[in-house]
Amino acid sequence: MVISTPHGNITAPVFMPVGTAASVKSLSSEDLESVGAQIILANNYHLYLRPGPQNIKKLGGIHTFMNWPHPILTDSGGFQIMSLTPRITDKGAYFKSHLDGSLQFLSPETTTLSQIDIGANIIMAFDHPIPAGASHAYAKEAMLRTHAWLLRCIKTWKDADLDRKFARSRTPLAGVEHEFSQDRVRNKQALFGIIQGGQYPDLLKESTKFIVDQDLPGIAIGGAVIGSNPSQTSQALAIIRDLLPKNKPLYTMGVGVKPSDIVSVIRAGADMFDCVAPTRLARCGLLYNRQSKTERLDISKSQFKLDKNPIDDTCDCSTCRDYSRSYLHHLFKSHELLYYRLASIHNLRVMIRTTSLVQSL
Amino acid sequence: MVISTPHGNITAPVFMPVGTAASVKSLSSEDLESVGAQIILANNYHLYLRPGPQNIKKLGGIHTFMNWPHPILTDSGGFQIMSLTPRITDKGAYFKSHLDGSLQFLSPETTTLSQIDIGANIIMAFDHPIPAGASHAYAKEAMLRTHAWLLRCIKTWKDADLDRKFARSRTPLAGVEHEFSQDRVRNKQALFGIIQGGQYPDLLKESTKFIVDQDLPGIAIGGAVIGSNPSQTSQALAIIRDLLPKNKPLYTMGVGVKPSDIVSVIRAGADMFDCVAPTRLARCGLLYNRQSKTERLDISKSQFKLDKNPIDDTCDCSTCRDYSRSYLHHLFKSHELLYYRLASIHNLRVMIRTTSLVQSL
């Protein structure tokens, strides 16, 4: 499947590195190109708080801001807010900023407008994800709220589009051409709805039907059941599979922790994935290795102190080309900043290469 | 002046980025090549403690270990130990490791043997540097000790060379060819003596005469007076200038904090410099800028929040080519790992380019 955006095409299945605050931790745009990233993800929650969507807009949009000329997806912030013990009403979510403790409010309207200003190519609806093990009643309440919020996201998205069409019909003022050009890009932003329903088949089916009925450019499935456990993810995908359109990308949010997670979820029908695990595990010393039963090495172990081999001799990344396990062990033990970048390059490359080698069903 | 090593030639004047623990903080070998580094510096003190000179030797020497195929200089550790309140005797220095508090001992003999095992192209004599403001009596004691230690460094260096010549005269054993090849490289290690004497003209002259008399491949000048203050450095160089040979490189240890420091010290006759300042200042948010009176910007300041300009529009580094002040401000405020690398690339490039543009006298 090829997904088209004004910043280029994406060939699915595709793994999206996570650049929470408009930076994939430790990596430059050149690094991301070198590992084969086609699209990266950023978080509206973080960017809303700092530097703020209006500031990103003034700086020419997120692509210009972070010097990433390829596709970008922003998550709405629904998932991030859940870890901040928010007060959720039908209106939206009240929560305290992790930066300064200030009271904040995000809603379907504000998250959509914020993502429009940020200027990503794919923007996500504001949803109400639920933790693993949530009751059927709670899962249903969160699902119905997610559906109601989606309709408000769609209205905001379409109204913003009308506003821009009106703006373009006026004579452009001197000096604002760039602004209009940005608007043309944002005009093509694709809004994805998010299926919720936890592990409950009836809710998953009901949510899928509702989301599919909105006829949006893409469909996502979220919540703690997705992402944290690949077999549960595959089970959920099997339940909803026949209800999904064939011609639209399916994005399973938060997959995968291990390379094999990606393989199983692609086989279950997913097209797009993101996960902080490759870069986060890398920073903790855990480096993907195909020969290992756990799919990874713990580079902190003293067994690597004199090991001249690359992390994985089947890997084609620059870290495996240029640096040995012994040097990475030394950098990790010495808390050297270079370690985090070299490790992140490797883990992302393994995840992206694994994804590209699996045939979508 | 061209300085030849088995790992390539160095064109002086040359600024050497500091890679304390066999890593210039946050930068890969490719990054160092991209900023124009010809030679980097590593510290015997740090490498002696971790991973240990024997381990670096087993891994093929420091060039192979850290994947830097160009020249490397190691400092002996004399300067680093001074910050650890050591007990200094004529035998050597007793101090506690900064890693685990264990009691350690370094001497002219152990630092020379350690640097031979590490395998840098230029190795430094073990010296007794003195703090700024030291009395004449203390400066003289430290200078005389530095001289006595230098003779022991030279003996160890020459004896190791004899040992290797003896080893090579035997029939090479199967499987140890690489070991012998490494020895041939180490055989060409250049030992530099270090002038001490604080700010006292009589001591500086006495020390210079003694060091020059040893007829080593290069001459350094150290101590807190050098490095911390470019005008004091230039004064010291003016005092010793006529005593120095014209055909040997002069290395002023710990210069420069600002780009203009380099200019003044090159004009005073120096050929080689190293300083942690460019990378350390970068990590603190201080980025070199030629237009600024202080020669630098503090990127943490809110005035850069919406600044689309590069750090310095006359700079040719990849950071200035690809990223704006606004993005660097955002990365710094967000404690993003990418910041440290982009900032270090810029500051090192400015220092190296400044050095290359100044004509040596």
Cβ–Cβ below 8 Å for A341 and B50: no
Q: What is d(CA B266, CA A278) in angstroms, rounded to the nearest whole number?
A: 47
DSSP A9-39: EEESSEEE-B-TTSS-TT--HHHHHHTT-S-
Cβ-Cβ contacts under 8 Å between A and B: the total is: 102
Q: Tell which of B59, B283, B339 to mutate to test the A interface (max A CBs under 10 Å).
A: B59
Residues of A in contact with B333 (CB under 8 A): 50
What is each CA distance from B308 to A3, A69, B321, in whole angstroms? 31, 16, 12
The percent of residues in chain A predicted with pLDDT above 70, rounded, is 93
Above 50 in pLDDT, residue B360? yes
The span from the CA of B116 to the CA of B112, in Å, is 6
Residue A186's pLDDT is what? 42
Find out whether B44 and B113 touch, Cβ atoms under 8 Å. no
Contact criterion met (CB < 8 Å) for A330 and B305: no
Considering only CB atoms, which residues of chain A are within 8 Å of chain B? 21-30, 50-51, 55, 58-60, 65-67, 305-306, 308, 318, 322-324, 326-327, 330-331, 333-334, 336-338, 340-342
A340 contacts B337? CB cut-off 8 A: yes
Q: How confident is the model at residue B276 (pLDDT cuts 50, 70, 90)?
A: very high
Give me the pLDDT at residue A341, please: 98
Q: Do B29 and A322 make contact, defined as CB atoms within 8 angstroms?
A: yes
Label residue B235 exposed, middle or buried (CB < 10 Å: 0-12, 13-18, 19+): middle
Rounded Cα gap, residues B273 and B270, in angstroms: 8
The pLDDT confidence band at residue B227, using thresholds 50, 70 and 90, is confident
Instruction: Say if residue A179's pLDDT is above 60.
Output: no
Query: What is the least distance, in Å, from the CA of B347 to any CA of chain A?
Result: 16
pLDDT, average across residues A61-74? 98
Q: Is A235 exposed, middle or buried (0-12, 13-18, 19+ CB in 10 A)?
A: middle
Give, in degrees to the nearest 5, the angle at Cα A67 between B24 and B291.
65
Rg (CA), chain B: 21
Residues of B in contact with A22 (CB under 8 A): 327, 330
Would you call B334 and A21 a contact, using CB atoms and an 8 Å cutoff? yes
Length of chain A: 361
pLDDT at B301: 98
pLDDT of residue A324: 98
Confidence (pTM): 0.94
Chain A residue with CA closest to B58: the answer is A306
Instruction: Tell me the chain B residues in contact with residue A342 when contact means C-beta distances shorter than 8 Å.
Output: 28
Q: Which residues of B touch A338 (CB under 8 A)?
A: 23-28
Point out the residue among B24, B29, B336 whose CB comes nearest to the CB of A25.
B336
**pLDDT value at position B249?**
97
Q: Give dist(CA A324, CA B22) in Å, integer.
A: 13
Q: How many residues does chain B have?
A: 361
pLDDT, greater one: B198 or A167: B198
Secondary structure (3-state) at B272: strand
CA-closest candidate to residue A144, choices A168, A159, A127: A127
Across the interface, which of A28, A50, A305 has its CB nearest the CB of B338?
A28
Q: Kindly state the greatest CA–CA separation across chain B.
A: 69
Alpha helices in A218-336 (DSSP H): 225-228, 230-240, 259-267, 277-283, 318-322, 325-333
Residues of B with CB under 8 A from a CB of A: 21-30, 50-51, 55, 58-60, 65-67, 305-306, 308, 318, 322-324, 326-327, 330-331, 333-334, 336-338, 340-342
Residues of B with catalytic function: 75, 274
Give yes or no for residue B63 having a pLDDT over 60: yes
pLDDT above 50: residue B248: yes
Å from B1 to nearest chain A CA?
A: 31
Cβ contacts (< 8 Å) between A346 and chain B: which residues?
A: none
What is the model's pLDDT at position B225?
Answer: 83
Phi and psi at residue A288, to the nearest 5°: -60, 135
pLDDT tens track for B2-19:
999 999 999 999 999 999
Interatomic CA distance for residues A233 and A220, integer angstroms: 12
* CB-CB under 8 Å, A331 with B25: no
DSSP B197: -
The residue among B169 and B320 whose pLDDT is bigger is B320
Q: Does residue A75 carry a catalytic annotation?
A: yes
CB contact under 8 A, B26 and A66: no
Contacts of B21 in chain A (CB under 8 A): 330, 334, 336
**Given the residues A31, A75, A127, A271, the one annotated as active site:** A75
**Domains, chain B:** 2-276 (3.20.20.105), 286-348 (no CATH)
pLDDT score, position A165: 63
User: Which chain A residues have a beta carbon less than 8 Å from that of B26?
Assistant: 337-338, 341
Q: Transcribe B215-260 into DSSP letters.
A: --SEEEE-STHHHH-HHHHHHHHHHHGGGS-TTS-EEETT--SSHH
Q: Contact at 8 Å (CB) between B297 and B328?
A: no
Cα torsion B97, B101, B107, B109: sign: negative
Q: Which residues contact A172 (CB under 8 A, 6 or more apart)?
A: A180
- d(CA A272, nearest CA chain B) in Å: 25
Find the helix packing angle between B136-169 and B201-213, rounded to 10°. Answer: 10
Phi, psi torsion values for B203, nearest 5 degrees: -70, -40
* Contact at CB, A28 and B336, closer than 8 angstroms: no
| Residues of chain A contacting B322 with CB distance shorter than 8 Å | 28-30, 67
Of A167-171, A231-235, A300-304, B130-134, minimum mean pLDDT range = A167-171
Q: How far is A219 from chain B (nearest CA, A)?
A: 31
**CB-closest option in B322, B333, B341 to A341:** B341
In this predicted structure, what is the pLDDT of residue B229?
A: 85
A7's tokens: 């910043």
CA distance B29 to A125: 43
Question: CA A86, CA A105: separation in Å to the nearest integer?
Answer: 9
The reported pLDDT for the residue numbered B228 is 80
